[in-house]
Each structure stands twice: as C-alpha cells, then as structure tokens.
Chains A and B, each alone.
Chain A
Amino acid sequence: MSRRPYVRKVERSWWLAHPRYVAYMAREITSLFIGLYCALLVVGLVRLAQGPAAWEGFLAAASSAPGVLLQLVCLAFAAYHSVTWFALTPKAMPLTLRGERVPGGAIVGAHYAVWAAVSLVVLIAAGV
C-alpha cells in the first residue's frame, strides 16, 4: 500500500472562518489607525515648527468635520488596542509575590489605573 499524504491549502480568507480570528484581525488592524494618528501628530509637529499661522491651520484641520470623523475612528481602534493589550499583559508577564501568583485581574487593573492617571496628567497639562 503506497502512501500519498494529502496537503490541504490554506485560503487567504482563513481569518473569516471563525469569530476568534476575525477578532484577532480587528485587534491587529488597530495598528493601522494608531499609525494614521501618529502621522497626524507628525504633521502637527511640522506645523508647530512652521510658526503660529501654520499651527492654527493644523488645529482648524483637526477640528474640521473630516478631521474629527477620522480621529473618532482612530479613537475607537486605539481604545480597542488598549483594552486588548492590557488583557494580554498578565500572560506575557506573570508575577509571583510572596509565594503566590498575582491574579491576572490585579495586573490588568493596575494598567487601567496607570492609564487613567496618565490620561488625567495629560489632560491637565493640556489645560482642561
């Protein structure tokens, strides 16, 4: 009896086959929107370097309807990135304190606390 193993092809649409993989792709595509917002920040820095008029033009563009729309989409994906990143951190960096495993929830909670603190500091610095 001869062997003839059959190799099944992996489709390019493999990630559509199961909700778990769709969620993975959504998580990964957050990077596109984070990258887009970084580009927006770089434009802002360039405008800042070009003087007050250029800076005001940048602020106006950021406040325009398409500007706000783009940023709201980026915000949604950025928040999804934060939530998923924090949730995965305990797996990558497990902690043992005084002979006991620190519960994952505590590590995640600490990240949310830092997130809130950093956000508050930035908001205050920005003059809210």
Chain B
Amino acid sequence: MAVSSKPLLWLPFAGGGLAAALIIPVLILITGVLLPMGLLHLPYGRMAAFAHNPVGKLILLGIVALPAWHAAHRLRMTAHDLGLGGGAVKAACYGSAAVLIVVAAAALLAI
C-alpha cells in the first residue's frame, strides 16, 4: 500500500476546524443577532475600508476559506458514512468550497 496524499486535504480541514470553532459563532452573533436587533451597525464605509486593506483582505479570505474547506471535507466524509460515496459527491463537496473561495477572492480583489 502507498502512503496517501490525504494530508493535502486533511491539514487544511484541521486548521479550518479550529478557525471555524473560534470565529464563526461570534460572526453569526454579529450578523444574525446584534445587527438585526440594532445593537450594532456595519456601515459600508468602515467595512469597505477594512476590505480595501491588504491585511484585511487576507483576514476576510481566511475567515471564509478555512471553514469552507473544513465543511467540504467533513460533508464528503459524512456522505460516505451515509452510503453516498463516489466521485460525484467528492466533486460536489470540494467543488462547492472551491467556488466559494474563488468568488470570495474575486470579490475581495474588486474592493
């Protein structure tokens, strides 16, 4: 048997798991609770300024890319657990994450 190249998929998955655990809940709190309740405002000027900054772009891309990859890999493994394996599932999962990451990068470059 050969040493697998799974680490290429797995290390970003593990990093994404930690990133998602640390950052996603507070982000949902902001956009899904505090913002609708009016306890917080996200004015265009401030958000665009942050996204205009190269460090801001990297942070925003990381916030999206790592959890998205984590979700894709985990969903693919869960589909396998439910008896749905195969190339189509793999393509759907990693493909969706790739699309999300590319679109995010394109949007960030445009700001």
Contact = CB atoms under 8 A, between A and B. Distances in A.
A49 B107 contact: yes
Contact of A75 (B21, B25, B39, B75): B25
A68 B26 contact: no
B111 interface: yes
A62 B35 contact: yes
B72 to A, nearest CB: 7
A54 to B, nearest CB: 9
B74 to A, nearest CB: 4
Interface residues on B, range: 35 or more
A31 B78 contact: yes
A108 B39 CA distance: 31
Given A38-B71, A85-B20, 15 more contacts: A28-B74, A28-B77, A28-B78, A34-B70, A34-B71, A42-B103, A45-B107, A51-B44, A56-B44, A63-B35, A70-B32, A71-B32, A82-B22, A127-B41, A127-B42
A90 B99 CA distance: 33
